[in-house]
């Protein structure tokens, strides 16, 4: 199981590098969907299957809205792909930076923390993810409202960044 989770972690890092290095909203949105899927697979591998499914569905709905708006506002006839030289150079720079950062912080990771939450099943009454969902809505209600506000603010920032100099329907195409 640890090999599969390690494979998902490596894929998550590569997907995030693909998102960070690509200026086109088409391929950036595809990389974000792949990164969200791999992140939810990691969460499911550690015992949060219900929470990862809910997060993935919510994230895909939000990404659909953001992708539709950004693709409509930033229509380019020839977008930059992952195979173009500037994108590949930035991808290599981000991978080298990630490798150097992981070498610097390597001593802080310990193997006892890589345990699935359900392996301690004899000490608990509920599954780990369902108890977390209940706490999210009861104790974490304020944090949930703050997270919704931050996501709404991020939507407006993305829309403002992709809008450019166009002024609605009166812009030149």
Q: Is the pLDDT of residue 2 over 60?
A: yes
Residue 96 lies inside a defined structural domain of this protein: yes
Task: Note the pLDDT tens digit of each residue in 66-78.
Answer: 777 767 766 677 7
Task: Provide the sign of the torsion angle of the four alpha carbons 17, 19, 20, 23, taken in this order.
Answer: positive
Residue 69 lies inside a defined structural domain of this protein: yes
User: How confident is the model at residue 93, as a pLDDT?
Assistant: 92
Residue 111 lies inside a defined structural domain of this protein: no
Who has greater pLDDT, 131 or 31? 31
Who's near 99: CB < 8 A, 6+ residues apart? none
Residue 13 lies inside a defined structural domain of this protein: yes
At 126, the pLDDT band (50, 70, 90 cuts) reads: low
Residue 138 lies inside a defined structural domain of this protein: yes
The number of folded domains in the chain is 1
Residue 171 lies inside a defined structural domain of this protein: no
Instruction: Name the token pair of 132.
Output: 């977390």
What is the span of the domain harbouring residue 47? 2-74+81-106+117-163
Count CB neighbours of 54 within 10 A.
15
User: How confident is the model at residue 168, as a pLDDT?
Assistant: 55
Task: Note the pLDDT tens digit of each residue in 45-56.
Answer: 877 777 788 888
The alpha carbon of residue 77 and the mean position of all alpha carbons in its chain are separated, in whole angstroms, by 27
In whole angstroms, what is the distance from residue 172 CA to residue 78 CA? 18
Residue 65 lies inside a defined structural domain of this protein: yes
pTM: 0.64
Instruction: Name the token pair of 104.
Output: 């610097």
Residue 168 lies inside a defined structural domain of this protein: no
Only one residue has tokens 């499914």, namely 53
CB 87 within 8 A of CB 21: yes
Q: For residue 42, give Cα distances in angstroms to 28, 58, 109, 135, 161.
A: 21, 17, 16, 21, 31
In whole angstroms, what is the distance from residue 72 CA to residue 25 CA? 10
Helix axes 49-73, 25-45, angle to 10 degrees: 180
């Amino acid at each position: 199981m640890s090999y599969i989770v390690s494979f998902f972690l490596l894929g998550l890092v590569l997907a995030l590098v693909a998102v960070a290095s690509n200026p086109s909203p088409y391929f950036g949105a595809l990389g974000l969907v792949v990164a969200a899927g791999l992140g939810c697979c990691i969460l499911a591998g550690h015992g949060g299957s219900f929470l990862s499914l809910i997060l993935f569905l919510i994230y895909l709905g939000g990404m659909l809205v953001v992708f539709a708006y950004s693709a409509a506002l930033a229509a380019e006839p020839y977008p930059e792909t992952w195979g173009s030289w500037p994108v590949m150079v930035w991808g290599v720079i981000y991978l080298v930076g990630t490798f150097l950062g992981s070498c610097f912080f390597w001593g802080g990771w310990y193997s006892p923390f890589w345990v699935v939450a359900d392996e301690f099943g004899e000490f608990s009454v509920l599954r780990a993810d369902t108890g977390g969902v209940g706490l999210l809505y009861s104790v974490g209600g304020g944090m949930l409202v703050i997270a919704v506000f931050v996501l709404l603010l991020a939507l407006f920032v993305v829309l403002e960044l992709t809008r450019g100099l166009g002024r609605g329907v009166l812009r030149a195409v």
